[in-house]
Structure 1
Amino acid sequence: MLEFRTKGYQGYSVKYSPFFDNRLATAASANFGLVGNGRLFILSLTPQGIIAEKWYDTKDALYDTTWSETHENHLLASCGDGSVRLYDLAHDAFPIAAWTEHAREVFSVHWNLVAKSTFLSCSWDGCIKIYDPSNNQSLLSLPTHSCTYAAQWSPHEPSLLAGVTSDSMVHVFDVRAPGGGRAVVKWGNHSAAGGMGMPPGTNVAPAEVLCMDWNKYRPGVLATAGVDRVIRTWDYRMPGRPLAILPGHEFAVRKVTWSPHLPDVLLSASYDMTCRIWEDGTRGGVDGRPVDPMAFGGGREVGRMGAHTEFATGVDWCLFGSEGWCASCAWDERVLVWDVRAFMRS
């Protein structure tokens, strides 16, 4: 396991470069993101360990980062002052572009994986905005009417995106649909109902949804998780009930991400200080027997990494090389690079 210390800054997000297997970006904030400045670290994996190529300081906290899909040296950062900033590694100190249209903290940014000329941001101000990096204004604003913690473009459809909000809702937008600013489908995610992952008759208040990710192999399938500690997988075309339920975390789940190598494996990072590996049950049991992924408590955790000593807030898979390498970050001021396979139970 490799380690890098973001001394004085608590990590919020870590992302592998889509161009280089040895380059990472980490968005971190002083004072746990509550007050003070932020720092965007550009890290390299070398035979001598992880080193910082460079870093960019901001006057407000940083909550997320994402690499450009068109330029190997470009990446975005989302800022607590409501701005989205575009950096070029060939330039020092300052962003090469910035957008300041959000009224509150920008909590997530994501580059379009299919139509690579656009990216999005989402904010606590209750909207998702779409941009072209060559334009100094956003192209479209999509209202969610609630604090939006995460949003992502689909890896299968260039016009499809989803976002999750504090009112326990999942919103799916198609920007080509008539009236483009309306969700094509939305549903309650973490609320009181047997079909939502709790035993029938259990009364549970709706919980904030903090994270989501699209499956890389199965169009229409996404995973969500949040304050109620349960990961759920869905097909947005049939949103009446989840496809699978994966309980197990002891505190809120801050990040969930599907494997880029396998269609049924995902990683999560939680405030319980662990990163956990899951199988969603679509391939059956460990000895080939069928599994009911909808059985409460029947979700399959197949491993966990517990080296972090504070809230685990970010985790990301490496796209290159042998499957299983990932990076995680936490409020313990550490970025860890580790092999998922070493933590999976046989």
Structure 2
Amino acid sequence: MSSLPQPPTTIQTPGFAHYSTSWSPFHTSRLALASAANFGLVGNGRLHLVSVTPGPARLPALNIEKKYETQDGLYDIAWSEIHENQLVTASGDGSIRLWDIMLDEHPIRAWQEHTREVFSVDWSNIQKDRFVSSSWDGTVKIWTPDLARSVLTLQAHHACVYQALFSPHQPELVASCSTDGTVKIFDLRSPSYLTTGPNTNTFTNPISTAVLTVPASGTEILSIDWNKYRPMVLASAGVDKVAKVWDCRMVQTGGVGQVGGSCETQFLGHEYAVRKVQWSPHRSDVLATASYDMTCRVWTAMPQADRPQLLHIHDPHTEFVVGCSWSLYDEGIIASCGWDGRLSVFRL
């Protein structure tokens, strides 16, 4: 386990607990924070825009540039892949909002199709005019910013869907995870829905059949992420306190609830549920996890004699750590956020 050469840089937002943070894909110095009052249980939300500028001793300096108030808590955020100043947020009132950070106060578009909390949003980095959302109503929806309704609905699970992500390798693949302990992969080209009747469409008759179901845990799966370098490799994490790596090509479904393969790697050490897992955008074997045990940890899937599996424990937070994000431009920088209202940026 390595030690940091410098302490982390932090910034506080009194009264707001953070649920998610994300680096801009266009600017090395821009971060976004999705936050909620009263730990997201009741009350309003806030979108924070944070600038990251060089500071002394190679440490970044953080500054809140803008704040957008919302009527309900914000649980997730995703930057547009086609417009450097736009991003979408997922809200506790079931809404999704598109923001332009060059404008003040109001979103430029809003959607209200989900019937319960929207818990995740993700923008495709291949088909860059699409993003995906997941909700506690059990559905996953595909959107484009220019349309007033969703393009496609997936009846992904019969329980809360905590996260849904586009594959970074194949634009038609979407993975989701749920309260039911499964990770599912959907192929948007698959005709796995009814097409009979003059009024049938994928909005009123959603796709309900996954091309692969991985029973990843006996408890809730809270987070997943696609490996950026290895197609069909996913990481999952959740209430069982373990992060796991799955090669979906090696998982053979033998029937309902049966698989003929096991996970490739397990990361053991968190003391409470793992709320976020994210692969490094720079290395195929490195990932970060954020946990209710108030730590963010960095791991390698290929440990060696002089390089243990657990590379680093980042523990300045005083409440649940629920979000983490790798810098897309600097291999050594990670941001973490939590219910203590603290955004922390540290360099490995």
Q: Deviation per CA, 1:25-58: give whole Å up to 9, x if none.
A: 0001000000000000011013462111111111
Q: Structure 1 counterpart of 2:327, which letter?
A: C
Count residues in correspondence: 312
The equivalent residue for 2:275 is 254
Is 1:211 matched with 2:213?
A: no
Measured in 1, the distance between the counterparts of 2:139 and 2:75 equals 16
Counterparts of 2:47 and 2:136, CA distance in 1: 21
Helix, strand or coil: the match of 2:18?
Answer: strand
Q: Which moved more, 1:181-190 or 1:119-128?
A: 181-190
> Shift of the alpha carbon at 1:178?
2.1
Which of residues 144, 163, 188 in structure 1 aligns to 2:215? 188
Partner of 2:254: none
Q: Does 1:117 align with 2:129?
A: yes
1:108-187 → structure 2 map (5 Å cutoff) = 108-143=120-155, 144-179=157-192, 181=207, 182-187=209-214
**Residues 243-272 of structure 1: CA distance to partner in whole angstroms, max 9, x if unpaired?**
111111000000000001110000000000
Partner of 1:264: 285
In 2, Cα distance between equivalents of 1:93 and 1:46:
24
Larger displacement relative to structure 2 (40-49 or 55-64): 40-49
Q: Offset at 1:163? A: 0.4
Give the partner amino acid of 1:328. Answer: S
Cα distance in structure 2, aligned partners of 1:256 and 1:131: 24
Is the counterpart of residue 7 in structure 1 residue 28 in structure 2? no
Does residue 245 (structure 1) correspond to residue 266 (structure 2)? The answer is yes
C-alpha distance in 2, partners of 1:280/1:45?
30
C-alpha distance in structure 2 between counterparts of 1:162 and 1:147, whole Å: 14
TM-score normalised to structure 1 length: 0.88
Work out whether 1:27 is the aligned partner of 2:34: yes
> What letter matches 2:286 in structure 1?
V
Q: Partner of 2:242 in structure 1?
A: 230
CA distance in 2, matches of 1:247, 1:300: 9
Between 41-50 and 151-160, report the one with greater CA deviation.
Answer: 41-50
Q: 1:285-324 maps to which residues of 2 (within 5 A)?
A: 285-287=304-306, 300-321=309-330, 323-324=331-332
1:276 corresponds in structure 2 to 297
TM-score where L is the length of structure 2? 0.88
Distance in 2, Cα, partners of 1:146 & 1:172 = 16
Pair 1:82 & 2:75 matched: no
Structure 2 Cα separation of the partners of residues 277 and 60 of structure 1? 32
Distance in 2 (CA, whole Å) between partners of 1:109 and 1:312 is 19
The residue type paired with residue 322 of structure 2 is T
Structure 2 gap ranges (5+): 1-7, 56-60, 194-206, 252-260
Give the deviation of 1:224 after TM superposition: 0.2
CA distance in 1, matches of 2:35, 2:344: 14
- Counterpart of 1:276, as a letter, is R
Identity %, equivalent residues: 50
**C-alpha RMSD over aligned residues:** 1.3
